[in-house]
């Protein structure tokens, strides 16, 4: 079964993290990624840009209409996401709890209910 792990953050939280600790934090995250790639359970991992770099796309009169966004009503935004393939939800939760930032930030675990084939 596949699971999406989502980590949220905000600029205030990132700015409060001591700059000298970032290299160690990134190394810990890369070690986490390598560990679960080796087990075959981590399919992909992506860190996202902050919300100020994000755009919203709509279709208006058949053409794309791009605007700044998102317009968040909260400070939190999706900071990164991971795609797992695990034997159970409990295993996905164990992996989420093993994430280096899980002691500072909760990790959402979402079962993936449908997957569109990409190798057609």
Q: Note the pLDDT tens digit of each residue in 18-70.
A: 999 989 999 999 999 999 999 999 999 998 887 778 888 889 999 999 988 76
For 66, the token pair is 């791009």
CA angle 94, 77, 74 (to 5 degrees): 120
Q: Provide the strand spans (E) within the chain.
A: 2-9, 42-47, 55-60, 63-68, 77-85, 107-111
Residue 35 lies in a domain: yes
Quick one: average pLDDT of 109-119?
A: 85
pLDDT number for residue 72:
60
Does residue 64 fall inside a structural domain?
no
Quote the pTM value.
0.82
Does 14 reside within a domain? yes
User: Does a structural domain hold residue 67?
Assistant: no
The verdict on residue 107 lying in a domain is: yes
| CATH code of residue 14 | 3.30.70.1060
């Amino acid at each position: 079964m596949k699971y999406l792990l989502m980590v949220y953050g905000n600029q205030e939280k990132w700015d409060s993290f001591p700059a000298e600790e970032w290299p160690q934090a990134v190394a810990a995250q890369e070690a986490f990624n390598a560990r679960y790639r080796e087990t075959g359970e981590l399919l992909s991992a992506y860190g996202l840009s902050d919300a100020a770099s994000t755009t919203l796309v709509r279709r208006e009169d058949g053409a794309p209409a791009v605007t700044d966004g998102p317009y968040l009503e909260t400070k939190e935004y999706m900071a990164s996401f991971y795609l797992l393939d695990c034997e159970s939800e409990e295993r996905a939760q164990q992996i989420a709890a093993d994430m280096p930032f899980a002691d500072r930030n909760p990790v959402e675990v979402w079962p993936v209910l449908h997957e569109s084939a990409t190798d057609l």
